Amino acid sequence: MSATENRLAVLFPGQGSQEKGMGRELAEASAEAAQLWTMAEKASGLPLREIYWEGDETAMADTRSLQPAMTAVTLGLWFHLKSKLSPLVGFAGHSLGEYAALAASGMVEVPAVFELTSLRGRLMAEAAGGDGRMAAVLKLSLTDIEDVVRQAAESTGKILLVANYNSPGQYVLSGEAEAVEAAAALVKDKKGRAVPLAVSGAFHSPLMAEPAAELEKALRRAGLRAPSVAPVYHNVTGRPEPDAAQALDLMCRQMTSQVRWIDTLAALWQAGARTFVELGPKGVLTKLLAANLKECGEPYTGVSVAKPADAAALEA
C-alpha cells in the first residue's frame, strides 16, 4: 500500500469511552503525559487521577471530571505517538473529542483546552436540573427515525431531534423527557430499539442554549488559530474549516448542534483517509467504521490505541 493509499485520520472519542485506570500507564512512564493530567487537575480543581485510577463507575461518569480527564488521556496518546502518525489527512473528535482534535491540530493552546473542557463539563453538569434526556436508536432507518421524531414532537408539543448521526443504524435522539419517552414507544412499534443514555441533559439540542452561551464567551476569549498540523473535521458540518474565525463560530454552535459523524467519516474518506486511528479507551469510534464505510468499495484499516502497548498495531 502506498503512502497515498495509507493516509491517516486521527479520531478522538468523547463521553462514554471512560474506563478505570485510563491513561495511567502512559502518565507513569511519560513526564509529558503526566503534565497533561496536572494541567487538567489545575483547570478543573478536581483530583482526576484519583477519580479515574482509583474511583468507581459513578464517580468516573461525572461530566465535570470526565471531560478534562478524557482530554488528558487522548492528548497524552497523541503527543506520545504523533511521530508515527503520518501522513495525516485530518483530525476528528466525537463531541467532547473535538476539543482534543483542536489541540492536536494546533488550533488552540493545550492549557486553554483544559480550561474549556473543564468549563464545558461543569456547564453540562449544571444542566442536569432540567428536563432533558437522550436515547440511542438502533435497527431503524433514518427515514423511520425522522418519522418517529416528527410524531413524538407533534403529539407531546415538546422539543425532540436527532442529535447524533453516528452511523447508518445508530442515531441518538435528544430532547425533553416526555418527547423522548414517546419516541421510545414509537421506535418499539417499528421493531427498533431505543436505549436511554446515562447523561445529565439533552445535549446537542436547543435545550443547551444557556450553557452554550456561557461556553461561547470562553471560546471567544481563547480564540482559535488556523491548524498547523492537519485540519479538524467539525461535528457541526462534517467538514474541515480552514478559516479560524469560521471554525470558532462552528465550535460556538457545537453544544446545541447535531454531531454529523456519518458526514465526518465520509469527508475524511473522500480526502484520502484509509487508516483511521482512534486514540482513547474502548474503541467506540473504531467500531463505528464498518457501518459507515461498508459502501466505499475499498479496503481500510481501523486501529484503536488505548495505551502505549497498543502502539504496536500502528507498525502493523
- 10 CB contacts (<8 Å, ≥6 apart)? 78, 85, 88, 90, 91, 92, 101, 104, 230, 277, 279
Instruction: For residue 234, indicate whether it is catalytic.
Output: no
Strands 8-12 and 275-279, sheet pairing: parallel
In this predicted model, what pLDDT tens digit does every residue of 211-224 receive, in sequence order? 999 999 999 999 99
Burial (0-12, 13-18, 19+ Cβ within 10 Å), 86: exposed
As a whole number, the mean pLDDT across the chain is 94
pLDDT, mean of residues 38-45: 98
Residue 63 CA, chain-centre distance (Å), reads 13
Residues 205 and 256 sit within 8 Å (Cβ to Cβ): yes
State the virtual CA torsion across 187, 188, 193, 198 in degrees, nearest 10. Answer: 80
Strands 8-12 and 88-93, sheet pairing: parallel
User: In the numeric block, which cell numbers belong to residue 117?
Assistant: 473542557
Which CATH topology does 8-128+206-314 take? Answer: Malonyl-Coenzyme A Acyl Carrier Protein; domain 2 (3.40.366)
pLDDT at 297: 87
Instruction: For residue 95, indicate whether it is catalytic.
Output: yes
Return the number of other C-beta atoms located less than 10 Å from residue 54's C-beta.
12
Position 31 pLDDT exceeds 50 = yes
The active-site residue, picked from 65, 204, 234, 304, is 204
Distance CA 232, CA 92 (A): 6
In the chain, domain spans: 8-128+206-314, 132-196
What does DSSP assign to residue 292? H
Position 122 pLDDT exceeds 60 = yes
In this prediction, residue 55 has a pLDDT band, given cuts at 50, 70 and 90, of confident
Position 85 pLDDT exceeds 90 = yes
In this predicted model, what pLDDT tens digit does every residue of 233-262 receive, in sequence order? 999 999 999 999 999 999 999 999 999 999
Question: Domain 132-196 classified CATH 3.30.70.250?
Answer: yes
pLDDT at 5: 55
In this prediction, residue 127 has a pLDDT band, given cuts at 50, 70 and 90, of confident
If DSSP codes are grouped into helix, strand and coil, which group holds residue 91? strand
Residues 293 and 256 sit within 8 Å (Cβ to Cβ): no
Position 1 pLDDT exceeds 50 = no
Distance CA 109, CA 101 (A): 11
Distance CA 18, CA 5 (A): 32
In this prediction, residue 316 has a pLDDT band, given cuts at 50, 70 and 90, of low
The active-site residue, picked from 95, 118, 174, 200, is 95
